[in-house]
Chains A and B, each alone.
Chain A
């Protein structure tokens, strides 16, 4: 029989694809079912954040930071606000710090629930998606109670908060903690330890530690590879040093350390740790005025500041340069998902097409954060 002629196939995945978590385009080079090369093509959601920031006053930039990584808007606000506060050199009231920590951790839970739900959806399990969104809805109710918005809040102001919390919020948060603990176990039973899910994710897309560090991967994606690195502990900001929590890493409970399953399970573990932080913070909120330190006019002296924070997706930082005027001279965002995505080519090679979907989902990317 004559030799079969084979040739490389170029396959286009996205920008309209249900598993690319937005409008990402992946150009796959295939050898049969095996992936030889993955090239992410970006820019389908480039919304000109950095250019916008130059035309806005400092407080006006906050709504735009919300829309960068829209699944965890609070963390984006926090990073930007901390950066500007450092530039201004103002002291923040204790009450504000505590509320900020509670809000950031609630947002972390909401973000991880989206990550877990959509990841199950990528694997073909639709039920966990419904359960996760049901729980996320409860978290969003709390946000709505405080600031009126469900997703994009504009809640953290420079020097304070837009609204104070109510006693009702505290009782509802305590109820939520009680409600969520068994629900996380339920999601774990439904998805994390499901045999089919483990088959799809364990030993797939192993991210070696040196590759991860060289590419600047951070957050649960890095911790999935077994590195205990969390900015809340290692370069602490706000008042995170006052709380007792653990940094969760992938331990190879199933599969190998650094594979998709370990990256995924770190998020499930982290929800529990966030609940612990909220539990500790909710009883200690001191009295005070949340707007006492809000400056009338934000006009920092010329200079620059860089603050990095641990967002649910990893290291999120804002670099703000001031020229002494009312508008920032430059705002640069160090986007988490962009760095996390950069390793996809290296770790997808040699896997099947269906595994690329799982590898992409395990990084929990948000295109608003990548393209800005």
Chain B
């Protein structure tokens, strides 16, 4: 049974097979990490790699990650590219429109720290973490699709360890 495999031994199943017992945390985390909807939002070069990752060869769909155009539908925002000062206010606004719980993945050197535009880029924000909280950083210029996939799996692992009782780190 798919759900039971995903919850990996964290459930107790009764003999009839229709009733399972698990904690609310585990069930919520499992459902959150298995359907991380991503915002259909590309900034720069990394967006092309993001598209390549969601296309047939790397197939993001198998992780339950599908692109949605509206920030109100999504759980995760991929900051895929250079954040300029003009765009920074818009990204903050998009982030504020996303419903909780929400996660942010910073993709590529530009979003992590300014990347190649660090020194002379007078219009480039030196890291998207200056405006919104970032959960996972993926290095690379641009990161390969495999690297992005690993970042997303790391984010899934992080969500798996979440708890309702203690505050989200």
Contacts across chains A and B counted by CB atoms under 8 Å: 96
Confirm or deny: B32 has a beta carbon within 8 angstroms of a beta carbon on chain A. Answer: no
Query: Do A45 and B119 have beta carbons less than 8 Å apart?
Result: no
| Interface contact B142-A18, CB-CB below 8 Å | no
Contact with A along B123-137 (1 / 0, CB 8 A): 110000000000000
Whether A133 pairs with B52 at a CB distance below 8 angstroms is: yes
Q: Is B122 an interface residue (CB 8 A)?
A: yes
Q: How far is the CA of A131 from the CA of B55 in the complex (A)?
A: 8
Which of B10-18, B19-27, B36-44, B99-107 binds A? Answer: B36-44
Q: Does A64 contact B (CB under 8 A)?
A: yes
A51 touches B82 (CB 8 A): no
Nearest chain A CB to B142 CB, angstrom units: 6
The answer, yes or no, to whether B28 is at the interface (CB within 8 Å) is: no
Residues in A neighbouring B71, C-beta threshold 8 A: 16
* Distance in angstroms between the alpha carbons of A371 and B81 in the assembled complex: 14
For the complex, give the distance between the alpha carbons of A133 and B44 in Å: 18
- State the majority secondary structure of interface residues on A: helix
Q: Which stretch from B1-9, B84-92, B150-158, B159-167 is at the chain A interface? A: B84-92
Contacts of B121 in A (CB 8 A): 47-48, 52
User: In the complex, A314 Cα to B102 Cα: how many Å?
Assistant: 41
A93 to B84, CA, bound (A): 41
A321 within 8 A of B: no
Cα–Cα distance between A133 and B56 once the two chains are bound (Å): 7
Question: Does the CB pair B87–A15 fall under 8 Å?
Answer: yes
Q: Contact residue range for chain A? A: 35 or more
| Contact yes or no, A52 B117, CB < 8 A | yes
* Complex alpha-carbon distance, A9 and B119, angstroms: 42
CB-defined contacts of B39 to chain A, threshold 8 Å: 16
A55 partner residues in chain B, CB cutoff 8 A: 119-120
- For the complex formed, measure the closest distance between the CB of B160 and the CB atoms of chain A, giving whole angstroms: 29
| B75: Cβ under 8 A from any A Cβ | no
Q: With A47-B117, A48-B120 known to touch, is A151 a contact of B56 (CB < 8 Å)?
A: no
What mask results when residues 51 to 94 of chain B are scored 1 for a CB within 8 Å of chain A, else 0? 11001110000000001010100000000011010110010001
Q: Are A22 and B122 closer than 8 Å at their CB atoms?
A: no
Check B149 for interface membership: any CB of A closer than 8 A. Answer: no
Are A133 and B82 touching (Cβ within 8 A)?
no
Sampled A-B contacts (13; CB under 8 Å)? A44-B86, A45-B44, A45-B84, A46-B84, A47-B84, A47-B124, A48-B117, A48-B123, A63-B116, A70-B44, A134-B57, A152-B141, A152-B142
- 9 cross-chain pairs, A with B, having the tightest CB-CB distances, nearest first: A133-B55, A70-B45, A130-B56, A137-B57, A18-B40, A44-B87, A134-B56, A18-B69, A48-B121
